[in-house]
Amino acid sequence: MSITRRALGAGALSAPVLLAAGAARAQGAWPSRAVRIVVPYTPGGVSDITARLIADPLSAMWGQPVPVENRAGADGVIGTEAVARSPADGYTLGLVSVGHPVNAAFYRLPFDTMRDFTFVTQTTSTPLVICAPRAFAPNTPAELVDYAKRNPGVTFAGTGGVVRLAPVLFAQRTGITLEYVPYRGSTQAHPDLIANRVNIMFDTVPAALPHIQSGALKALATTGAQRSPQLPDVPTVAETLLPGFEAATWGMVIAPANVPLPVLVKLNADIRAALQNPTVVERHRTLGAAIVSNSPDEMRSFVQAEMEKWGAAARSAGIQPQ
């Protein structure tokens, strides 16, 4: 029985015979040594936490060390390039974020976002929340749109990546204009947001949650496909105004292009199993991140769609790769 890469779609990975055949072929030869996970960001973020949480169950499954290596710089480009240039043997993995497809809209990259990687599985999804000062009049996405149409000059705080582009996508789909105010990070933006010096921010739920809980900021809506467990009473943009609207940060495991198929099948199955470890699930729940896993073909299609969505948003804002 042959297994093709196309067969790694949702139907194939649900077929025990095909999965077992691929995994069995991989088991004899791989892994015979340590498998490293490169995280192209500084320690402490969701990608780094995910990598370290799944490393222990993977090490137990494989009987090999699974070290995590932080190689931060250039919004993740440095570490991601290191993964792309590694041997395609399954011994070097990367755990990247939504920045992987978004970076193509901002930078002239030293690799091809799609061609130079094997996509193993998604790991997490974390929605954004549209937050605003208590003094800002709108309380819902519809009120925000109406207010922006009547009051030109509504500003949004952005920190780069999807936090920068999500308001652009929202404005594009609602026919309003929002003015971008750049910040280096959420910590720098929050004081101005709380003081109503900038009107709104599409921030990650974990970053904004303490200020929402304290009452310093209010939540107009979240941007995931479902409501955030941390903000269950806050509706999504999709359910209140724009059906299908979704803007989230997420994680995925990648490897260099052309990893052998039996190794890819085993990587996908074992990482998906590690993600369901109760400790892994609970820790991510506290971070506001949902565990998400899929097949390599599904992941590739998802990344391609994200590239197209965020690339179009960037172009509409006049952003060109530098």
What is the predicted pLDDT for the residue at 128? 96
Question: 139 and 220: one domain?
Answer: yes
What is the predicted pLDDT for the residue at 12? 43
Please name the residues in contact with 129: beta carbons below 8 A apart, sequence gap of 6 or more: 202, 203, 204, 205, 208, 209, 212, 219, 221, 222, 223, 228, 231, 234
Question: 213 and 81: one domain?
Answer: no
Quick check: 20 pLDDT over 70?
Answer: no
What is the predicted pLDDT for the residue at 29? 83
**Could you read off the pLDDT of 208-246 as tens digits, one per residue?**
999 999 999 999 999 999 999 899 999 999 999 999 999
Question: 265 and 120: one domain?
Answer: yes
Task: Kindly report the backbone phi and psi dihedral angles of residue 229, in degrees, each rounded to the nearest multiple of 5, phi listed first.
Answer: -60, -25
Higher pLDDT, 3 or 42: 42
Question: 39 and 107: one domain?
Answer: yes
Closest CA to 205 of 188, 189, 227: 227
What is the predicted pLDDT for the residue at 15? 42
Domain end residue (candidates: 203, 224, 240): 240
Q: What is the 3-state secondary structure (H, E, C) of 139-153?
A: CCHHHHHHHHHHCCC
In a domain, 69, yes or no: yes
Parent domain of 231: 127-240
Domain end residue (candidates: 175, 210, 240): 240
Give the mean model confidence (pLDDT) for residues 8-26: 43
Domain end residue (candidates: 189, 209, 240): 240
Quick check: 297 pLDDT over 80?
Answer: yes
What is the predicted pLDDT for the residue at 35? 98
In a domain, 25, yes or no: yes
Question: 215 and 266: one domain?
Answer: no
Quick check: 269 pLDDT over 80?
Answer: yes
pLDDT category at 94 given cuts 50, 70, 90 is: very high
pLDDT category at 196 given cuts 50, 70, 90 is: very high
pLDDT category at 28 given cuts 50, 70, 90 is: low
Quick check: 19 pLDDT over 80?
Answer: no
In a domain, 322, yes or no: no
Task: Kindly report the backbone phi and psi dihedral angles of residue 108, in degrees, each rounded to the nearest multiple of 5, phi listed first.
Answer: -85, 105
What is the predicted pLDDT for the residue at 157? 97
Quick check: 14 pLDDT over 50?
Answer: no
CATH number of the domain where residue 151 is located? 3.40.190.10
Higher pLDDT, 7 or 159: 159
Measured distance CA(93)–CA(82) in Å, rounded = 10
Number of domain units in the chain:
2
Task: List strand residue ranges (DSSP E) for the chain, in order.
Answer: 36-39, 68-70, 92-97, 117-133, 155-158, 179-182, 200-204, 217-222, 248-256, 290-291
Quick check: 283 pLDDT over 90?
Answer: yes
Task: Kindly report the backbone phi and psi dihedral angles of residue 277, in degrees, each rounded to the nearest multiple of 5, phi listed first.
Answer: -55, 130
In a domain, 37, yes or no: yes
In a domain, 194, yes or no: yes
In a domain, 1, yes or no: no
181: helix, strand or coil: strand
Buried b (16+ CB within 10 A) or exposed e, 203-235: bbbbbbbebbeeebbbbbbbbbeebbebbeebb
Question: 16 and 121: one domain?
Answer: yes
Quick check: 26 pLDDT over 70?
Answer: no
Question: 171 and 223: one domain?
Answer: yes
Question: 83 and 99: one domain?
Answer: yes
CATH number of the domain where residue 120 is located? 3.40.190.150
Closest CA to 273 of 259, 291, 256: 291
Question: 184 and 82: one domain?
Answer: no
In a domain, 293, yes or no: yes
Question: 289 and 186: one domain?
Answer: no
Give the mean model confidence (pLDDT) for residues 179-202: 95
What is the predicted pLDDT for the residue at 217? 98
In a domain, 321, yes or no: no
**Could you read off the pLDDT of 127-156 as tens digits, one per residue?**
999 999 999 999 999 999 999 999 999 999
What is each CA distance from 274 to 55, 239, 268, 293, in whole angstroms?
8, 32, 10, 10
Question: 146 and 294: one domain?
Answer: no
Question: 92 and 172: one domain?
Answer: no
What share of the chain in percent tops pLDDT 70?
A: 91
Tell me what the pLDDT averaged over the chain comes to: 91
315: helix, strand or coil: helix
Give the mean model confidence (pLDDT) for residues 23-31: 61
CA angle 104, 107, 108 (to 5 degrees): 95
- Assigned token pair, 136: 């800002």
